[in-house]
A and B are shown apart, each in its own frame.
Chain A
Amino acid sequence: MSRFITLARAILIAGIMSTALTCRAGDRPYFITYDQTMEEPGNLEIEGMGLTASPQAGNSFLSGVTEFEYGAKGWWTTEFYLDGQTTANESTIFTGFRWENRFRLLMREHIVNPVFYIEYEDTSGADKSLLEVVGFDSQYDGLVPNKVASRDWQRELETKLILSSNVNGWNIAENFIAEKNLAGEPWEFGYAAAVSRPLSLIASPDECTFCRENFQAGVEFYGGLGTANKFTVHGTSQYIAPVLSWQIGNTLVKLSPTFGLTDPSYRAMLRFGVQYEISGFRRKLEKLLH
């Protein structure tokens, strides 16, 4: 547990110390919901995300995800994730990887902007990153001890239709999720929706750390929608999560207390994240190699 907490703290400190550089991504404060923003071509964004919870019937845990997001084209962003978790009184384990790709379907801005998302994930049953909630995912899944759950590896294909709008400074995003376990289980469905806004729509003239335009606030809703055999919200996990982000130079710090709304949901969780953008990564790499 303490190793992960130390790692999380190190990422946070490194993020805050990197504020000398002055470019940014303009990313949203969301943890689960995607909007239409793509990574700028040639840029690499590295993000560390954590989630901690103390379930009523199980051991406290801290999961960590390291994410590498690369802008392959203006309309194509690709990401690679490494997942891990540590559970009190159990163990600290690696729980798998994910590779996702997002494609903008329309090349210009519209009232609603669709993005197609496809992800391959190879994760163990012990994964507790909860990057999406689908089917009948519940807090009871997390009660299985690490040594048992980590033997069960799942290869899954996940697709999302992302719909996103920017209206008068507000972003409104909806994601429809369909996930298929490649071992042959039925399709599982879920959703995520979010709304957010910067605290100020106008940029102040001076460089500043605490300007209102550096903060974004919003709320996310997400949960399962059952399976292809039983499409329903009954018996599913449902969450509401206020989100707050703080842009400091090219580093974004995010925080989200999350609350479960149904019995299968974790009652409360805390998500936190730090993302750091390396601008012109492709250009720098090419220069290094030639």
Chain B
Amino acid sequence: MNRRLRMSANDAVIAVAATILSITPTGLAQGFRNAPSSAMEMKNPYAGGGPAAAGGKKLYGQNCAQCHGNNLQGMGPAPTLMSPTVKNAAPGELFWFITNGDLNKGMPSWSQLPKQQRWQIVTFIESRNGAK
């Protein structure tokens, strides 16, 4: 009887672990920084680099480097932009996050930049991370 109970407890632990494991991938599948699914479908008009990427480097230096570092390495509370999370994010998700920021966590909204310039910054970050 005790043995049967112990087995049931083990089964319960396995069931809970399986549930957690089954939930985790779903959590990871959510958009980058809570970006909506529509952001994934946005196309980068400057995909492929070129002069737009060069302009993006300048914009990154002017607007982003003070917190994220000249080499995207991150500084203090501002995270690195070379992490797998950023590398795996869709261009549209990066664009969405730059546009909205995360005001509660210190990332400002950059909506005051024209959308062309926000895309240029995305293009630069992707080029540094080896765009997929």
Contacts and interface: CB of A to CB of B under 8 A. Distances in A.
A27 to B, nearest CB: 8
A201 B63 contact: no
Nearest to A24: B62
Contacts of B58: 203-207
A283 interface: yes
Interface residues of A, number: 38
Given A104-B103, A279-B66, A38 B117 contact: no
B104 A75 contact: yes
B27 interface: no
B104 A107 contact: yes
A254 B56 CA distance: 25
A42 B107 CA distance: 11
Given A109-B100, A203-B55, A206-B58, A37 B120 contact: no
A41 B105 CA distance: 10
Nearest to A42: B106
Given A109-B111, A280-B66, A283-B76, A203 B59 contact: yes
A42 B75 CA distance: 13
Contact of A166 (B57, B65, B108, B112): B112
Interface string B97-118: 0011111111111111111110
A171 B109 CA distance: 14
A24 B63 CA distance: 6
Interface in B62-107: 62-63, 65-67, 76, 99-107
Nearest to B65: A23
A171 B112 contact: yes
A203 B65 contact: no
A74 B103 CA distance: 4
B111 A166 contact: yes
A35 to B, nearest CB: 7
A202 B110 contact: no
A202 B120 contact: yes
Contacts of A168: 115
Contact of B106 (A26, A74, A104, A202): A74
5 contacts: A36-B112, A74-B106, A108-B109, A169-B114, A169-B116
Given A24-B62, A201-B116, A202-B55, 16 more contacts: A22-B61, A37-B112, A38-B108, A74-B101, A74-B102, A74-B107, A74-B108, A74-B109, A75-B103, A107-B103, A166-B112, A168-B115, A202-B116, A205-B57, A205-B58, A206-B58
